[in-house]
Structure 1
Amino acid sequence: MASRRRKRWTQARLLMGTIVTIQVSSSEDEQAVLQSLERAFAAFRAVEAVCSRFDPTSELMRLTRTVGAFVPVSEILFQTVQFALAVAHRTNGLFDPTVGRRLAKLGFHQHYLTRQSVQTVDGPNAHQEASYQDVEISTEKQAICLHNPLTLDLGAVAKGFAVDLAAQELRRYEGFIIDAGGDLYVSGTNDEGAPWLVGIRDPFVNTQTICTLEVHDMAVCTSGGYERRSTVDKQAHHIIYPHTNRSPVDVASCTVLAPFAMLADAFSTVGMLLDIPASIDLFDSEHLSSLIITNDKEIHLTGQMEEFLDDKSSSKGEWRIT
């Protein structure tokens, strides 16, 4: 019996402050695919409802109203905070999920749909900011305790986690790709049975790509300062050093490949904050492949990234691959 021909379904939604696009390539019936797509988008809505810093009714913002006591939380909030704290410890606080108040001061305090500003929680005093060390988790109770007033920002992990949950809803299909504004998960093959191709955006020219990756069954996440700029400080964007409130100036973007999107999402942010030698050492120690673009147009490849390049050379002569 001949196998059924595969078709492609593509749908998009505005969620978590970005356009989430999902493509599914499958030989299954349309109704089954459409139902799976709805469940995948529902995963994004669930994570956004829990983890948004821009919604005063979210579980995350409700958590910030209790200081000094453990608060039982949902599985989604517990997992994202637990993972964010693990990355914070791994990077000695360079990655810090308690920068919400500092980001709000830079103008990142409005909900992307309503444009309403969200009041953040002040730090312990005017001269001392809270840090990840002020957050304690209890695995036994599935609870979180904030030891000082602070505002968590899970922007570097929550969207990746939503991508991972959505991917679980689509595993049955021959191929799919989830694109959530720079956070992707790629599975299987496209309609023609070939690997999916993922373009890496030129951080200086948003209509161009600098190279293409040939990937399957992995996450591809890119962080950069070109999408969300501060309305208060022209030199700042949404990625900042927690101790200086300044944005990195050497790295333009960082792309990380990983088995799941939350890991790639977090470490692509870390790659923006480290200098190049430190990034290479960290990614090698974590067995992660990355592509780091500097502001002087150098491309640094770590791990096995070169093996994923569809075109081994840059599309423009002025780029230097090291």
Structure 2
Amino acid sequence: MNTRPSASASAQAVFPSLGTTAVLLVTDPGALPAAEAVLRAELAAVDRACSRFRPDSELSRLNLNAGRTTTVSAYFAEALEAALRAARLTDGTVDPTAGSAVIALGYDRTFASLSPEDARPVPVTRPAPGWRHIAFDPRTRRLRLPPGTRLDLGATAKALAADRAVLQAAATTGCGVLVSLGGDLATAGAAPEGGWRIALADDHARPASEGGAAVAVTGGALATSGIQVRTWRRGGRVVHHVVDPATGEPAAPVWRTVTVAAGTCVDANAVSTAAIVRGERALDWVRATDLPARLTRLDGTTVRLGGWPPDSHAPASPGSPATAPGGPR
């Protein structure tokens, strides 16, 4: 699905980035070039720091040096702190040390390059080393990963980029701004009248059908996690990219998608991803967060928590923002 923003949100830019789609909306058309420049600079920065598919990224170099103490850049330190915050918020259900498990499942290259049919058997899975074993001093930015650990900042870095870019763009332009990266979106500044109209979707890249479910957002952020878009076959099994750190296995298929609203995209993404991993246990846990959430089962039935409103509907409009799964590359 997709959505059409309200009439006062009259300028947008849409382009591929981080293996997904970046969507930028501003309430002042004259501010679009400046806001787009901010967003593109942020996306380049997060790619250089946090991509696990670039051999020259800071993340790749740090993974090669696991077991040694290294001083990281200020940007990487912020991204790591976001990932550690997600781990704390979710009691380790979202864990940045799950990189080896994701690679073992076959997600060892960009998703566009991934073979949809991999005949190799899935290796014996192992639990992630655990985020508590990361030694990091935010003051000195000194980091030591346990030997053999591979970080995967993945979706938390994408969510952080959305949070950072929207705040910088709003400060630069003085108008309302929405940034969506693969459906994980953040807003800043004054929203258009009636709020930003956001479609709820299984796949952010598919055009909206007329009358699809939508929600109005006046501030903060939304994030959606799901298990049906980024899937492939490995050794005859259908696997997906949301890994349970406790087992190293893909999360059990209970929820098709989970959408969460929060003050920041990092927090919304952490809770939506944790809900996918927790399966049936997610309901009480998400309810305890007091965050608005919409959980969709495999059969399409929905559960709304934390005051999530009944579905409204939005007309189709290609290129406008949807919140739907769409991880980095």
Which residues of 2 match residues 7-156 of structure 1 at below 5 A? 8-26=10-28, 30=30, 32-111=31-110, 130-156=129-155
Distance 2:277 2:114 in 1: 29
Q: Tell me, yes or no, if the aligned pair for 1:49 and 1:59 is still in contact at 8 Å.
A: yes
Distance 1:85 1:60 in 2: 15
Change (3 A) 1:7 1:226: closer
Residue matched to 1:175: 176
Change (3 A) 1:244 1:59: closer
Distance 1:202 1:246 in 2: 18
Stretches (4+) displaced over 3 A:
89-92, 111-116, 125-129, 205-210
- In structure 1, runs of 5+ residues without a counterpart are 117-124, 312-322
Q: Tell me, yes or no, if the aligned pair for 1:239 and 1:248 is still in contact at 8 Å.
A: no
Shift of 1:182: 1.6
RMSD: 2.8
Shift of 1:287: 2.8
* Partner amino acid, structure 1, of 2:219: D
TM-score in terms of structure 2 length: 0.79
Q: Which moved more, 1:205-214 or 1:81-90?
A: 205-214
Aligned residues: 291
- Which residue of the other structure, out of 269, 272, 281, is the alignment partner of 2:276? 272
Higher relative contact order (CA 8 A, sep 6+): 2
Please list the CA deviations of residues 198-247 of structure 1 after superposition, one character each: whole Å capped at 9, or x if unmatched. Answer: 111157x9554752111111111111112211342542111021214133
Change (3 A) 1:167 1:14: same
Change (3 A) 1:7 1:199: closer
Distance 2:69 2:130 in 1: 17
- In structure 2, runs of 5+ residues without a counterpart are 1-6, 116-123, 314-329
Q: Tell me, yes or no, if the aligned pair for 1:72 and 1:141 is still in contact at 8 Å.
A: yes
Residue matched to 1:299: 302
Shift of 1:59: 0.4
Please list the CA deviations of residues 135-162 of structure 1 after superposition, one character each: whole Å capped at 9, or x if unmatched. Answer: 1211221121112211111112011000
Q: Tell me, yes or no, if the aligned pair for 2:194 and 2:216 is still in contact at 8 Å.
A: no
Change (3 A) 1:274 1:210: farther
Which residues of 2 match residues 132-281 of structure 1 at below 5 A? 132-171=131-170, 172-187=173-188, 188-190=190-192, 193-202=193-202, 208=209, 211-232=213-234, 234-242=237-245, 243-276=247-280, 278-281=281-284
Distance 2:182 2:128 in 1: 30
Q: Tell me, yes or no, if the aligned pair for 1:182 and 1:223 is still in contact at 8 Å.
A: no
* Partner amino acid, structure 1, of 2:200: I
* Partner amino acid, structure 2, of 1:195: G
* Structure (1 or 2) with the larger CA radius of gyration: 1
Q: What percentage of residue pairs aligned between the two structures are identical?
A: 24
Q: Tell me, yes or no, if the aligned pair for 2:34 and 2:169 is still in contact at 8 Å.
A: no
Distance 1:302 1:6 in 2: 30
Shift of 1:52: 0.6
Shift of 1:166: 0.9
TM-score in terms of structure 1 length: 0.81
